[in-house]
Chains A and B, each alone.
Chain A
């Protein structure tokens, strides 16, 4: 029954985005752009939530995966778009997005295997470094435009594509969370040692969460590139990764609905508060600290009160 109704939601969501896309030219272009950014940020934040929130692995390199997807997809579509006729055009974007996602997922596998065997702190640093390495490498690759950026990407992404992908990603992640894999992620997050003792292959679950998150981030990057039709390495710096992390933390790690709300609010807010744009990162960083101290489950996340209560009666963690 559950799968039946959620599949119905998915169908309705995709149909709605198709219907809306017929009227997308009626929408004020500025608002339209913000709406598209909201969609892309929802994909980024929910996919990072899978890694950070559900599997409990802290990644700071989401913009790196996004940029891999964006560059791969742009390369594919600009090559195909030049040489194809009209009827195949509709297949170019899905193909480009899938390839972009695949390259990002492959990178996720390469980064994930050595680092995920270890504690979260190492993962945070390695993923941060990985994102910066990707940026430096792209800056030095001339066929990708180097520091000047990649221009002339066909403007293929519209409301339909962005919000269909949003629906699919949210659907896929919610189903994944309710599956056996989802239980595995939660077990790894809540107590890695206990999970291991129960026979769960913790590394496998961490790598799966990481690859899936990277794949969706790559797709989000592809959509972004095909919407603004110009990308450069600077757009995918670690500040972008931090923005996504802030969405996940404010929304509440492990709460899909909360993260979606946070993605929407945090996309609109900087536009509404353009006057204090220079304070944005300072406000974000303070928000991280204040939320961690006062409400670690995030603004919209469900309270772990029961868990806290249990923790109170357990002895404080001993240093090894």
Chain B
């Protein structure tokens, strides 16, 4: 029972990180109808911004944990937003009306560039992520140990997702985003500036990925330039599982994938950890390609 509870906590922490990344995939898909392969690597860059910034931020705020954590988080989110928008403007925008395959290959190219450019810039060896929040034990009974780390990870993820929900549902920009995702041509005829909306989508998606990177570093304190590949793929699978283009679906999918992965690691074998997500993807594609919360869209000719 206690082990189950422990696994559930681990699963939700990992799942909330997948949820943050998955939302970025799903939003870009909703607006541009393509999979931003480089998203997992933006997540990695977020982690590295935290790694390099934390030692400089800590003394500035006098070692105050309450201040340092959020500042590092915001910094990473800002840097990654700029990165995301730059990628969009340089690589994706010139190809907007080209065949899907062209954009897909470009996205893969950008992804590889960030991974191997990262290896040149940061070095290929794993680095230990600085402790932003010292882990203190909250509950320590004989059958359950709960530290602050998962609580903070889950809490931050919930705050960010609620904030995003507010932006998408209650602001003018969010309404424009939903309009563009519903019908790009009609939205532009209504006077919505498509380019601004797309850039804004990349800002939101990339900053959530950056937050995911920081939280991932907090949870598993070892980062390397290739660390974005598997979380990126799993987050993408989460987005497909929840129904691609659907934001609550992405969050739900992330939680399911995170939980499944934790349970497989805990109860079956850690070697199948990376395989299980792809198994889920194949099952979803076979039986319900529109995902749990997504709805089927007939392709217009």
Contact = CB atoms under 8 A, between A and B. Distances in A.
B113 interface: yes
A293 B94 contact: yes
A120 B184 contact: no
A118 B289 contact: yes
Given A125-B35, A136-B271, A292-B106, A320 B100 contact: no
A21 interface: no
Contact of A288 (B108, B117, B240, B275): B108
B137 to A, nearest CB: 35
B108 A124 contact: yes
A150 B56 CA distance: 48
A281 B34 contact: no
A279 B101 CA distance: 26
Interface stretch (A7-15, A126-134, A212-220): A126-134
A281 B278 contact: no
A126 B275 contact: no
Contacts of B33: 319-320
A96 to B, nearest CB: 27
A153 B116 CA distance: 33
Interface stretch (B58-66, B213-221, B254-262, B280-288): B280-288
B285 A279 contact: no
B105 A58 contact: yes
Given A249-B105, A281-B116, A292-B109, A114 B286 contact: yes
A121 B34 contact: yes
B4 interface: no
Nearest to B87: A289
Contacts of B237: 125
21 contacts: A56-B101, A114-B282, A114-B286, A117-B289, A120-B101, A121-B104, A124-B104, A126-B281, A126-B282, A133-B278, A136-B274, A136-B275, A278-B120, A282-B120, A284-B112, A285-B110, A287-B109, A289-B109, A293-B94, A316-B97, A320-B300
A292 B95 contact: yes
A285 B104 contact: no
Nearest to A311: B97
Given A284-B112, A286-B109, A115 B282 contact: yes
A19 B183 CA distance: 64
A319 B185 contact: yes
A145 interface: no
B299 interface: yes
Contacts of B116: 281-282, 285
A120 B109 CA distance: 16
Contacts, number: 126
Given A124-B37, A130-B278, A318-B185, 5 more contacts: A120-B104, A281-B112, A293-B91, A316-B97, A320-B299
Contacts of A128: 233
Nearest to A315: B185
A106 to B, nearest CB: 16
A136 B183 CA distance: 42
A243 to B, nearest CB: 11
Given A121-B34, A124-B104, A319-B184, A132 B112 contact: no
A129 B271 contact: no
B281 A129 contact: yes
A129 B233 contact: yes
Given A136-B271, A292-B102, A292-B106, A285 B112 contact: yes
List the 6 closest A-B pairs by CB distance, nearest first. A288-B109, A285-B112, A129-B278, A281-B116, A285-B113, A289-B109
A266 to B, nearest CB: 15
A187 B104 CA distance: 20
B1 interface: no
Contacts of B91: 289, 293
Contacts of B289: 117-118
A285 B94 CA distance: 17
A70 to B, nearest CB: 20
A296 B34 contact: no
B106 A193 contact: no
A14 B211 CA distance: 58
A136 B94 CA distance: 38
B98 interface: yes
A289 B113 contact: yes
